[in-house]
Chains A and B, each alone.
Chain A
Amino acid sequence: MYDVIIIGGGPAGAAASVYTGRKKIKTLLLTDSFGGQSIVSDNIENWIGIKKISGFELAKMLEDHVRACEEVEIKMPEKVDKVIEAKNGFRVETNKNTYQAKTLIVASGGRRRRLNVPGEEKFNGKGVSYCSTCDAPLFKDKEVAVIGGGNAGLEAAIDLIHYASKIYIINHGSELGGDPSTQEEIRKSPKVVVINNAETQEILGDRFVTAIKYLDKQSNQVKELSVGGIFVEIGSIPNSEFMKGLVEMNKAGEIIVDHRTLATSKPGIFAAGDVTDEIYKQNNISAGDAIAAALSAYNYLLNIKKQSPAYENKNSN
Chain B
Amino acid sequence: MANKVVIYTTPECVYCKITKEFFKKNNVVYEEKDVSVDDKARNEMVDKSGQLGVPVIDIGGKIIVGFDKEILLKFIDMK
Contact = CB atoms under 8 A, between A and B. Distances in A.
Q: Do A and B come from one complex?
A: yes
Given A77-B69, A125-B65, A135 B53 contact: yes
A207 interface: yes
A56 B39 CA distance: 27
Contacts, number: 60
B42 to A, nearest CB: 6
Contacts of B16: 134
A133 interface: yes
B54 interface: yes
A259 to B, nearest CB: 32
Contact of A138 (B11, B14, B42): B42
Interface residues of B, number: 22
A138 B36 CA distance: 7
Contact of B50 (A56, A137, A207): A207
A127 B52 contact: yes
B14 A39 contact: yes
Nearest to A163: B36
A129 interface: yes
A126 B12 contact: no
Given A126-B50, A208-B52, A42 B12 contact: yes
Nearest to B39: A140
A188 to B, nearest CB: 22
Contacts of A77: 69-70
